[in-house]
């Protein structure tokens, strides 16, 4: 059974969610309190519904009343809000970046061995360099963390 919340507390929570998660104006946020089904620390829990589009919404339950919800609780919602694309989507995005970087590199590069443009060895080298940059673009945060760890260890 969902209880209608007090207007001010509900609106304050909705504004805090929009502010903390940095959501665009097109996203609608609804919050409601309901009795907690289990005996927890708080007898009331908050149900939050974030509508991103007409057919796309996320529903969360925080086992706290409006007043007890902190910014950290709201930040924890971000993990479920921004979902990674499916495997095929990531794979196609990687191939797109790979082809783009390879073409850009090959357009201005020459073979490092014979000095001619269009040499198969140079094209293979461009493919390797394009694949490296595509991998960095696909997962740049992990690449930066890896490089930082290696540089800190070396220093």
pTM of the model: 0.46
Tokens of residue 103, six digits: 């073409």
Q: Average pLDDT, stretch 42-56?
A: 78
Give the model confidence (pLDDT) of 60-96 as tens digits. Answer: 888 888 888 888 888 887 766 655 567 788 889 899 9
Range 2-81 classified under CATH 3.30.420: no
Q: Residues with Cβ < 8 Å from 143, sequence gap 6 or more?
A: 135, 136
More confident site: 142 or 94: 94
The pLDDT value recorded for residue 1 is: 35
Tokens of residue 48, six digits: 């939050």
- Domain regions of the chain by residue span: 2-81, 87-154
Give the model confidence (pLDDT) of 9-39 as tens digits. Answer: 888 888 888 888 888 877 888 888 888 766 5
Output the average pLDDT for the chain: 80
**CA 112 vs CA 103, 120, 127: distances in Å:** 17, 11, 14
């Amino acid at each position: 059974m969902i209880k209608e919340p007090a207007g001010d507390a509900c609106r304050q929570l909705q504004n805090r969610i929009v502010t903390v998660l940095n959501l665009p104006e097109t996203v609608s946020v609804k919050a409601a309190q309901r009795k907690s089904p289990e005996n927890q620390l708080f007898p009331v829990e908050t149900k939050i519904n974030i509508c991103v589009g007409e057919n796309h919404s996320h529903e969360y339950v925080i086992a706290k009343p409006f007043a007890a919800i902190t910014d950290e609780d709201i930040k924890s919602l971000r993990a479920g809000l921004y979902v990674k694309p499916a495997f095929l989507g990531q794979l196609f995005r990687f191939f797109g970046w790979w082809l783009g970087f390879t073409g850009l590199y090959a357009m201005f590069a020459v073979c490092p061995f014979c000095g001619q443009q269009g040499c198969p060895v140079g094209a293979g080298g461009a493919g390797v360099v394009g694949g490296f940059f595509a991998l960095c673009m696909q997962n740049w945060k992990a690449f930066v963390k890896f490089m930082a760890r290696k540089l800190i260890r070396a220093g």
